[in-house]
Chains A and B, each alone.
Chain A
Amino acid sequence: MIQVHGLTKYYGHHAAIRNIAFNIERGEVIGFLGLNGAGKTTTLKILGCVLLPTSGHVTIDGVDVVQNPHEIRKRIGFLPDAPPLYEEMTVGGYLSFVAQLRGVSASSARDRVLSAEQQMALREVDEEIISSLSHGYRQRLGVAQALVHNPALLILDEPNSGLDPAQIVEMRGLIRNLRGAHTILISSHILSEISQTCDRLLIIQDGEIVAQGTEGELAQKLGGAGFIELEVRAPAQRPVEALKAISGVEDVLVAGERDGVVTIRVRAPAELRPKINRALVAADVDVYRMERVAEKLETIFLKLTHKEAA
């Protein structure tokens, strides 16, 4: 649905993004992950036809964003980093205005508004003035304005920004309910949000895409799909030596010791677990627990961004 090739954007002499390339298929929910200033918002603004790129090509459904932005704007719903709300309007009036602005006829606008309010749990504030809404409602209204005309593509820039944990859980559920009806590109630096809501991740650092794929694929790319955690009873030296002697083990780390039980983390392929077990038994070490621990997204993200920054 979206093809991006060689996308570059300069602000003066500063390149906000450089030579970005990725594809997004119809119906996918994509997480766009990066630290502040990495280039997420610039990329999303170009996809949302708010900004024009310095060079490169972006096509949405085969339509070029530079050559025919008007056509693309009909197919997208865009939530910028700060929800674009007219404070003096009522929620219903505002959504009706946005729907009609995006091509919904006046007669169908009310139905679309009701549908968007239902999807984002805004029915009870339909008559409220926007300036009186809480932050959580304002964020939800921001998403509602993006989907009120039922676009094929939803571009959401930090929809969870400034929400408390309960509101984040609520927003996560609301966005999850949109899955299937729209292709969704959602940016965030709240990693758990990306992990739980998205099919695939794009990680951007210093204006460049440094990795893309599923959480598992990214872990694999970083040279390991997690580690093996062990709890053993023995002096720490003995199991560590036994483990280091096994071929295929990359690293062994003593994570802690409590009441004579030592916790050890072994970076090695998961299929080495039987071999590890046999080696420890042979070294007269009692194995209490052995578990494969998947690499957490947060760790992957930090590794990717720090590696690129270094």
Chain B
Amino acid sequence: MKSVVLIARRELAGYFSTLSGYVIIAVVLAIDALMFNAIGLAGSKRSAEVLNQFFYLSSGMTIAAAVFISMRLLAEERQSGTISLLYSSPVRDGEIVLGKFFSGLAFLAILIALTAFMPALIFVNGKVSFGHIAAGYLGLLLIGSASLGIGTFGSALSKSQIVAVIISGCMVVALLTCWMLAHVTERPLSEVFTAMALHNQHFQPFQAGLIHLRDIVYYLAVTYVALFAATRVLEARRWR
């Protein structure tokens, strides 16, 4: 576990020692705020609806940010040759993946936390419960975690960050569009696609302020499977 913390700490510091981390934060906050102002605050709505809209919009930005944050995690190590340092150190491949993932998750958590001024405005000027806000943020963190896990897997597959982000993007879009397939297929297949969809069925309760164990388990399962696959990719590279 010490190695996981070491790797995560170094990686997290890396985000803030270069411009890339600040650029990602600035771009995401700017787009989030613009969309909140243009869509979330448009027309006359109840406070809870505005908050619901905020979490809906933020979830899209969180997924996109997670994919971009994760693209460097393992691809950059291979590109720069520093993966040899990790490979030759007494660190298990799973610990490398976990350390990288947690650094990305910590960065994403900071990014998500920085959006708090928008729900805070609704909280001060309207009438929403703290529980609704907490549930929404838990949902953002979970959907971000699942996307980051998928991104980590994509980053393990290629040493080019561009290729990694394309692979991860395709996988995330495939999971996002599962609900469309659910509409055009019959049961039981439609139920499988509904259950697999990254956003619709699993995120909507969070944005409405509801926490279901089923949705938490889904996001944690996607994260676990993606990180497990990333670990297997690292292990397989030692044979090539």
Contacts and interface: CB of A to CB of B under 8 A. Distances in A.
Interface of A: 11, 45, 48-52, 70-71, 73-74, 76, 78, 80, 82, 84-89, 97-98, 100-103, 145
B125 interface: no
Interface string B73-90: 000000011111111111
Nearest to B7: A101
Given A50-B238, A73-B90, A100 B6 contact: yes
Contacts of A85: 82
A86 B14 contact: yes
B44 interface: no
Contacts of A97: 6, 10
Contacts of B240: 11
Contact of B91 (A48, A80, A87, A101): A101
A74 B240 CA distance: 23
B45 interface: no
A3 to B, nearest CB: 20
B147 to A, nearest CB: 25
A70 B90 contact: yes
Interface string B118-140: 00000000000000000000000
Given A74-B90, A101-B3, A145 B238 contact: no
B153 to A, nearest CB: 21
Nearest to A94: B10
Contacts of A145: 85
7 contacts: A49-B88, A50-B238, A78-B88, A88-B14, A88-B17, A101-B89, A103-B90
A85 B76 CA distance: 12
Contacts of A102: 89-90
B14 A50 contact: no
Give the 6 A-B residue pairs with the shortest CB-CB distance, closest first. Answer: A84-B85, A78-B88, A73-B90, A80-B84, A88-B17, A84-B82
A84 B84 contact: yes
B92 interface: yes
Contacts of B117: none
Interface in B183-240: 238-240
A184 to B, nearest CB: 16
Interface in B1-20: 2-3, 6-7, 10, 14, 17-18
Contact of B84 (A76, A78, A87): A78
A50 B6 contact: no
Interface string B17-32: 1100000000000000
Contacts of B85: 84, 98, 101, 145
Given A84-B82, A86-B14, A48 B88 contact: yes
Nearest to A105: B2
A85 to B, nearest CB: 7
B16 to A, nearest CB: 10
A73 B14 contact: no
Contact of A73 (B82, B88, B239): B88
Among B10, B14, B80, the most chain A Cβ lie within 10 Å of the Cβ of: B10
A232 B240 CA distance: 60
Contact of A88 (B18, B83, B89, B91): B18
Given A51-B238, A70-B90, A86 B84 contact: no
A70 B94 CA distance: 13
A82 B92 contact: no
Interface in B40-87: 80-87
Contacts of B89: 73, 98, 101-102
A78 B86 CA distance: 11
A78 B84 CA distance: 9
Contacts of B83: 84
A270 B150 CA distance: 71
Contact of B87 (A49, A88, A100): A49
Contacts of B10: 86, 89, 97
Given A86-B14, A101-B89, 7 more contacts: A52-B238, A70-B90, A71-B90, A84-B82, A88-B14, A102-B90, A145-B85
Nearest to B10: A97
Nearest to A53: B239
